[in-house]
Amino acid sequence: MPEDPGTYAARYRIRLKTREQVEGIRKCGQLALETLDLVEKMIRPGITTGQIDEVVHRFTIDNGARPAPLNYRGFPKSVCTSVNEVICHGIPGPRVLKDGDIINVDVTPVLNGYYADVNKTFFVGDPGPDALKIVTVAKRCLKEGLAMVRPGNTIGDIGWAIQQWAESNGCSVVREFVGHGVGLAFHEPPQVPHYGNRGEGVRLVPGMVFTIEPMINLGGPELDILEDRWTAVTRDGSLSAQFEQTVLVYEDGWESLTPFEL
Ligand code: MF3
Ligand code: CO
Ligand code: CO
């Protein structure tokens, strides 16, 4: 007798979401997307990453939610802002954005107890060729990963598709940070690596909700963590870009709970 999906998921400590929970995560996802839209409108040379934090914090609170990053394992701000060679977990502060920069903004509100996690990389002013390339490749990597999501496929299929696209375009995939289950907590099982082999890893079953969030470097995949113990930067100083969505596996395939055009 084939194993029941709930039993299979439970073996990996994965909590399948009910219809009601999915609705809660979707609503939170809508707020997260509105927050990113607001951020996009303010991005221009001359603003600081600290100003982005203020806007995200205020907008989140005003909408009856709370920013998950604030005080999460000691993270001091309400949003991650990662500029140029910063891969992820950049801490907002006095850094001034300049023309030609790229900046990833990663927002995770908690609304009525539900978490949705989404990020985009934006251009500041006019992008140069390297900025254009890494952002284009990273965005397509998320799209390739999402296209693998359906019951019966595995987590390895997602990572394989992402790695394939990144490396065949001369870019590299960060290994130290991965996608993750999300919805009832910030980070739940399973882990979702953005590299891997077809057919390997946990099998996808309807009701799973997780992020795909490939961090793609223009140079090598190696990273360093700065003295602040959060900021991850490329070791070779090359540009890094990322896009993230929260995705639901359902009977016929996938549905983004934080949809934006890719
Ligand atoms: N939002 C990040 C993710 O995609 C996690 C940030 S943790 C924080 O998983 F503490 F830096 F906010
Ligand atoms: Co995430
Ligand atoms: Co995130």
What are the tens digits of pLDDT across the range 123-182? Answer: 999 999 999 999 999 999 999 999 999 999 999 999 999 999 999 999 999 999 999 999
Model confidence at 210: pLDDT above 80: yes
The answer as to whether 97 is a domain residue is: yes
191 forms bridges with which residues in the sheet? 180
Total of domains in the chain: 1
Q: Residues 57-86: what's their mean pLDDT?
A: 99
Q: Does 78 map to a domain? A: yes
Q: Kindly give the distance from the C-alpha atom of residue 79 to the centroid of ligand 1, in angstroms, as a whole number.
A: 8
Residue 80: how many CB atoms within 10 A of its CB?
26
Cβ(106)–Cβ(91) under 8 Å?
A: no
pLDDT of 239 > 80? The answer is yes
Mean pLDDT for the chain overall:
98
Closest-CA residue, ligand 1 atom 2, reads 106
**Least distant ligand from the CA of 119:** 3
Ligand 1 atom at minimal distance to the Cα of residue 180: 9
Query: Looking at residue 196, which CATH number applies to its domain?
Result: 3.90.230.10
Confidence of residue 24 (pLDDT cuts 50, 70, 90): very high
- Residue 1: pLDDT above 80? no
23 part of a folded domain: yes
Considering only the C-alpha atoms of the chain, give the largest distance between any 2 of them, rounded to a whole number of Å: 62
Q: Does residue 207 sit within a domain?
A: yes
The arithmetic mean of pLDDT across residues 171-198, rounded, is 98
In a domain, 262, yes or no: no
Half-sphere exposure in the Cβ direction for 21 (13 Å, CA): 13
Please check whether residue 236 lies inside any domain of the structure. yes
Provide the β-strand partners of residue 188: 181
Give the per-residue pLDDT at 81.
Answer: 99
Residue 60 pLDDT > 90, yes or no?
Answer: yes
How far CA 40 is from CA of 52, 68, 115, 158, 179, in Å, comes to: 10, 20, 21, 28, 23
In 3D space, the residue among 226, 253, 246 whose CA is nearest the CA of residue 82 turns out to be 226
pLDDT the model gives residue 235: 99
At residue 162, φ and ψ (nearest 5 deg) are: -65, -50
Across the range 77-100, mean pLDDT stands at: 99
| pLDDT in the model for residue 14 | 98
Q: Whose CA is nearest to atom 11 of ligand 1?
A: 89
Cα gap 210→189, rounded to integer Å:
8
State both tokens at 239. Answer: 């540009």
| Residue 261 included in any domain | no
* Ligand 2 centroid – CA 2 distance (Å): 32
- d(CA 97, CA 145) in angstroms, rounded, equals 30
Domain that holds residue 123: 5-256
pTM tops 0.85, yes or no = yes
With H, G, I as helix, E, B as strand and everything else as coil, classify residue 86: strand
Distance of CA 189 from the midpoint of ligand 2 (Å): 12
Question: Would you tell me the crossing angle of helices 155-168 and 129-146 to the nearest 10 degrees?
Answer: 160
Q: Is residue 235 part of a domain?
A: yes
